[in-house]
């Protein structure tokens, strides 16, 4: 039987917080509508909530729309692609989630416990700041350019730096090159070491910049030093070390030119050093999940009942918040086949509910459960895979 259009209002997320309307629009769309009520702080006089909402909606559409697909669990059942709508309502009573807006960027953003004097004192609410629609690379441009890591992300970069240090070594490595009739090649005896360093760097996840390398070649001739460094650069590029993270640094010695009759040495060396995490941070560029992270798109996930992955709520006193992470796991287990759970124990990575932009299958489970409950029908999450 073909699906008919139907709207289920005020569906609760089974993680304990989060509420939304579901609008089934045959043959292929599921619209998830979240109604928000804004309370704007006095420090933002004449704040335009409409403009803020438009920017928020654009960010949510970019990051969340057309990724989650849910299929009616019967033969030839329709597959619905999910899109998200945020609607501003004028009264607290008619909203799914109250939102408190303040001046700033990210400092006080997030889900808040009920608080005296806020939204009647009994509502979990979302705190947002007026700059939260900016992508991270823009909001944190000054610290990225200076290589000074913000506290929230510092561990992710240092962990990656440490992983590479553990394989490649922290101090400068010496690589020997052999002279060819028309250039240089990495000596056989240095290849295992260099291959190891290349493999370590190439294994950096694509949401982080690779740890940059400084290659130093010393020679009385700049052209020779450049050729030596470039030989190692080319060797590393061919093994997955991306070009922008490799710095060739030719250094001339103070030696005088050799006498014309002195024969050329058959070997030369360059030193290679993995630079500190701050240099890696400087290379964060738009187009990657961590750079493109947007606070408002992340916080929208909370309105769907999803939890933070970069925090562990187990020590929190509010039972609704504390239980929400295990309840999220439960939903993943209820789906058949089980949905892969996220490791939400304080993990910084490319997930939208961590500090990235990626939507995983488990981010669909609150919607899936609400749709199944409201419709009394079985559905399966078929995307993202």
* Of 279 and 308, CB closest to Zn ion: 308
Residue 73 CA to residue 385 CA, distance in Å, equals 17
Q: Minimal distance in Å, beta carbon 329 to Zn ion?
A: 17
15 neighbors 324 (Cβ within 8 angstroms): yes
Residues from 99 through 138 that contact Zn ion (CB under 5 A): 110
Q: Which residue is nearest to Zn ion (CB)?
A: 308
Total H helices, total E strands in the chain: 11, 14
189: Cβ contacts below 8 Å, ≥ 6 apart: 176
Please tell me whether residue 309 binds Zn ion under the rule CB under 5 A: no
Tokens 């759970």 appear where?
341
CA–CA separation, 6 vs 24, rounded Å? 5
CB of 324 to Zn ion, least distance (A): 11
**Which of 109, 204 has the CB closer to Zn ion?**
109
Least distance CB 11 / Zn ion (angstroms): 21
Q: How far is the CB of 125 from Zn ion (least distance, A)?
A: 13
Nearer to Zn ion, 323 or 334 (CB): 323
CB nearer Zn ion, residue 51 or residue 152 = 152
The CB-of-156 to Zn ion minimum distance in angstroms stands at 16
Q: How far is the CB of 296 from Zn ion (least distance, A)?
A: 11
Strand ordering across the sheet containing 246-252: 183-186, 173-180, 267-274, 213-219, 246-252
378 token code pair: 């079985």
Binding mask 255-294 for Zn ion (x = CB under 5 A): ----------------------------------------
Select the span of 141-149, 262-270, 277-285, 301-309 touching Zn ion (CB under 5 A).
Answer: 301-309
Of the pair 308, 350, the CB lying nearest Zn ion is at: 308
Rounded Cα distance between 312 and 329, Å, is 13
- Helix, strand, coil percent content, the chain, rounded in steps of 5: 35, 25, 40
Q: Which of 176, 180, 179 is nearest to 269 (CA)?
A: 176
Q: How far apart are CA 59 and CA 49, in angstroms?
A: 15
Q: Does residue 308 interact with Zn ion by CB under 5 A?
A: yes
Whole-angstrom distance, CA of residue 147 vs CA of residue 209? 13
Count the Cβ atoms, other than its own, within 10 Å of residue 189. 11
Q: In the complex, what is the shortest distance from the CB of residue 301 to Zn ion, in angstroms, rounded to a whole number?
A: 7
Q: Which stretch binds Zn ion (CB under 5 A): 12-20, 26-34, 115-123, 306-314?
A: 306-314
For Zn ion, the closer CB: 110 or 147: 110
Residue placing its CB nearer to Zn ion in the complex, 110 or 150: 110
How far is Cα 15 from Cα 124, in angstroms, rounded to an integer?
A: 13
Q: What is the distance between the alpha carbons of residues 42 and 360, in angstroms, rounded to a whole number?
A: 37
Dihedral, 18, 20, 26, 28 alpha carbons, nearest 10: -40
**Side-chain-facing half-sphere of 304: CA atoms under 13 Å:** 33
| # residues near Zn ion by CB under 5 A | 2
| Residues of span 341-370 touching Zn ion by CB under 5 A | none
In angstroms, give the least distance from the CB of 380 to Zn ion.
28
Nearer to Zn ion, 30 or 355 (CB): 355
Residue 96 or 224 having the CB closest to Zn ion: 96
Near Zn ion by CB under 5 A, which window of 1-9, 18-26, 58-66, 303-311?
A: 303-311
Shortest Cβ 28–Zn ion spacing (Å): 31
The residues binding Zn ion (CB under 5 A) are: 110, 308
């Amino acid at each position: 039987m073909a699906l008919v259009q139907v709207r289920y209002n005020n569906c609760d997320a089974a993680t304990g917080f989060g509420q939304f309307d579901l609008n089934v629009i045959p043959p292929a769309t599921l619209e998830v509508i979240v109604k928000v009520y804004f309370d704007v702080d006095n420090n933002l006089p004449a704040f335009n909530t409409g403009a803020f909402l438009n920017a928020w909606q654009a960010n949510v559409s970019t990051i969340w729309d057309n990724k989650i697909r849910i299929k009616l669990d019967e033969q030839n059942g329709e597959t619905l692609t999910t899109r998200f709508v945020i609607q501003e309502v004028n009264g607290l009573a008619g909203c799914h989630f109250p939102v408190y807006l303040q001046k700033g960027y990210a400092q006080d953003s997030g889900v808040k416990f009920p608080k005296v004097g806020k939204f009647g004192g009994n509502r979990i609410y979302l705190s947002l700041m007026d700059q939260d629609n900016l992508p991270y690379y823009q909001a944190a441009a000054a610290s990225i350019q200076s290589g000074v890591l913000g506290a929230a992300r510092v561990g992710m970069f240092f962990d990656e730096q440490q992983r590479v240090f553990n394989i490649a070594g922290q101090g400068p490595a010496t690589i020997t090159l052999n002279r060819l009739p028309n250039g240089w090649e990495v000596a056989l005896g240095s290849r295992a070491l260099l291959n190891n360093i290349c493999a370590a760097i190439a294994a950096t996840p694509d949401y982080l910049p690779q740890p940059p390398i400084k290659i130093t070649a010393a020679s009385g001739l700049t052209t020779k030093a450049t050729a030596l460094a470039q030989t190692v650069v080319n060797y590393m590029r061919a093994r997955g070390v991306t070009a922008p993270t490799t710095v060739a640094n030719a250094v001339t010695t103070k030696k005088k030119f050799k006498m014309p009759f002195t024969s050329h040495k058959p070997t030369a060396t360059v030193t290679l050093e993995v630079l500190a995490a701050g240099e890696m941070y400087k290379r964060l560029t738009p187009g990657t999940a961590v750079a493109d992270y947007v606070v408002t798109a992340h916080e929208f996930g909370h309105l769907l009942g999803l939890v933070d992955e970069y925090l562990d709520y187990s020590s929190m006193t509010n039972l609704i918040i504390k239980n929400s992470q295990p309840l999220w796991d439960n939903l993943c287990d209820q789906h058949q086949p089980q949905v892969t759970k996220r490791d939400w124990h304080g993990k910084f990575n490319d997930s939208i509910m961590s500090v990235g932009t990626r939507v995983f299958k488990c981010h669909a489970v609150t919607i899936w459960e609400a749709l199944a409950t409201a419709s009394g029908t079985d559905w399966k999450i078929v995307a993202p895979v």
